[in-house]
């Protein structure tokens, strides 16, 4: 009964005119971002983060969430029609989606992607409503030691599931932790790593770092490739799939939804990994396995269901525990901190309207996306004809204005530019920025819980292994680290990400 009461509260919040408007704006921007290669949801959320500072917490998070799961829808459109994924998690969809389009079946491919995404989004939203509440109740019994161990597990998992070198991912975590601890010590008031710069006494601005890494850094990388030329778009006809198509996609959608829902919860998981795993599972179990890579509709439905489910269930650890499972969730936590909300299990008791309103808005957002994506396919694809030389100056100006407006500080703009150069350097060195951002967000929280645990235990470090939950979390983290360093696992992991990037 409590669940129904909470959902009623969430629906009453989500259907408020202002929240409906920001939900629609979020999914609309997410669709545009998914369609346009070279921008991506990370850069867009980072650039729009300053705008949410003037909003109430609930509409701000509703809009940012809409951008995230909306981009999963939009990315499939260009992946299917022109073999150009607008978002990284849609790369797998292009394998069979584009082949279907070449055979004159672009309509059924787009419909399969939309229907699979809508079903997965609905199931994932129900899962969030069912799981997040009880998980929050369990998390309320956590002490500082348990939270410290949970954050260690999150950081280790992000290293294990990051693409590329484990050593580089670990280095990114450490660098993020160090920069996250910059500023005035919370206990002693002593400046740390400020180098005498007054603007760093309050710490490094998260908005500037995020917008620089994912906005300016991506622009610098994209400019290397020159301007984009107008695309030749496959014509779309017979949008609705046949009865046989519907029969073929039912099982893949169910399996993809299950895989995405599970991997979305895991730290470091999310839409990208979920879509690849779902595709590989279908390739092994489908009776039509011989058609994969040649235009199998299962190869569209499964990854699209998985990436949307993974995008939405990644909200579970963020909402229930205050722990980001991926870099987008780190941005969401940054938005909550900007709004004066302390992330963690207390959110459901102190801000129930935000907690349940955000969950209910996902149902509405998924309905908006189905309405937006299928009838307006031609509009979204026409966006690809906008030359990049017109897009990137607007992105730079918008980022600078947004970062400056948060604290009215020109130093923040300098941080933005420095972070942009750092982001470009990381790209050239094949270092993934996501572990860096997770370390940057979790660093201060990790230190706070570490010091609280040691204070309460009077300096006894065994508190982390004498408390059962803390010990279990540390054991899981150690097992994950040992497992991922085994040669066979490391080799298979590298093959997975290399094939995924291809």
Domain borders along the chain are: 2-230+240-498
pLDDT in tens, 57-93: 889 889 888 888 777 777 777 777 766 665 666 667 8
Of all residues in the chain, the percent with pLDDT exceeding 90 is 3
Q: What is the pLDDT of residue 407?
A: 66
Tokens encoding 236 = 């779309």
d(C-alpha 485, C-alpha 483), whole Å = 5
Strand partners, 183: 192
Crossing angle of helices 271-285 and 298-313, in 10° steps, is 150
Residue indicated by tokens 């590329």: 164
pLDDT in tens, 203-219: 787 778 877 877 788 77
- 291-303 mean pLDDT: 85
Going by C-alpha positions, the residue among 340, 294, 333 that lies closest to residue 314 is: 333
pLDDT in tens, 156-193: 876 765 666 778 888 888 888 888 888 887 777 788 88
Q: Is the confidence at residue 378, as pLDDT, over 70?
A: no
Identify the band that residue 20 occupies on the pLDDT scale cut at 50, 70 and 90.
very high
Q: pTM for this one?
A: 0.68
Long-range contacts of range 409-413, CB-CB < 8 Å, 24 or more positions apart? 409/199, 409/205, 411/197, 411/199, 412/199, 412/205, 412/207, 412/208, 413/208
Q: Is the confidence at residue 303, as pLDDT, over 80?
A: yes
Q: Are 373 and 182 in contact (CB under 8 A)?
A: no
């Amino acid at each position: 009964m409590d669940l129904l009461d909470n959902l009623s509260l969430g629906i009453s919040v989500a259907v408020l005119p202002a929240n409906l408007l920001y939900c629609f704006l979020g999914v609309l921007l997410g669709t545009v971002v998914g369609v346009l290669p070279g921008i991506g949801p990370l850069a867009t959320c980072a650039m729009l983060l300053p705008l949410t500072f003037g909003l109430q917490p609930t509409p701000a998070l509703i809009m940012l969430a809409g951008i995230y799961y909306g981009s999963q829808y939009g990315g499939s459109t260009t992946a299917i029609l022109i073999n150009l994924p607008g978002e990284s998690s849609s790369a797998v969809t292009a394998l069979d989606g584009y082949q279907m389009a070449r055979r004159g079946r672009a309509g059924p491919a787009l419909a399969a992607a939309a229907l699979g995404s809508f079903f997965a989004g609905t199931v994932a939203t129900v899962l969030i409503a069912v799981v997040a509440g009880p998980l929050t109740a369990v998390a309320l019994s956590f002490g500082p030691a348990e939270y410290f161990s949970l954050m260690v597990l999150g950081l280790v998992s992000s290293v294990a599931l990051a693409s590329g070198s484990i050593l580089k991912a670990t280095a990114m975590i450490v660098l993020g932790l160090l920069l996250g601890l910059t500023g005035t010590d919370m206990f002693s008031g002593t400046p740390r790593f400020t180098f005498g710069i007054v603007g760093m006494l309050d710490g490094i601005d998260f908005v500037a770092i995020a917008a620089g890494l994912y906005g300016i850094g991506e622009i610098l990388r994209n400019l290397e490739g020159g301007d984009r030329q107008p695309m030749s778009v496959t014509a779309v006809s017979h949008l609705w799939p046949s009865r046989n198509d519907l029969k073929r996609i039912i099982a893949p959608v169910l399996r993809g939804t299950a895989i995405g829902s599970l991997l979305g919860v895991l730290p470091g998981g999310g839409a990208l990994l979920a879509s690849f795993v779902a595709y590989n599972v279908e390739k092994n179990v489908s009776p039509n396995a011989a058609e994969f890579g040649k235009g199998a509709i299962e190869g569209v439905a499964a990854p699209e269901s998985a990436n949307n489910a993974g995008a939405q269930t990644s909200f579970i650890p963020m909402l229930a525990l205050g722990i980001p499972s991926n870099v987008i969730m780190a941005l969401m936590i940054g938005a909550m901190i900007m709004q004066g909300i302390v992330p963690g299990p207390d959110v459901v008791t102190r801000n129930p309207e935000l907690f349940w309103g955000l969950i209910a808005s996902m149902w509405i957002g998924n309905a908006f996306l189905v309405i937006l994506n299928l009838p307006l396919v031609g509009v979204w694809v026409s966006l690809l004809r906008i030359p990049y030389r017109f897009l990137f100056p607007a992105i730079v100006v918008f980022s600078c204005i947004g970062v400056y407006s948060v604290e009215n500080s020109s130093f923040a703009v300098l941080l933005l530019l420095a972070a942009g150069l750092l982001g470009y350097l990381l790209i050239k060195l094949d270092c993934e920025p996501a572990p860096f951002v997770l370390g940057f967000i979790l660093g201060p929280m990790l230190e706070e819980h570490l010091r609280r645990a040691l204070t309460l235990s009077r300096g006894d470090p065994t508190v982390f292994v004498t408390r059962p939950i803390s010990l279990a979390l540390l054991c899981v983290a150690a097992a994950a680290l040992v497992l991922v360093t085994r040669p066979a696992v490391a080799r298979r992991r590298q093959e997975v990400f290399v094939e995924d990037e291809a």
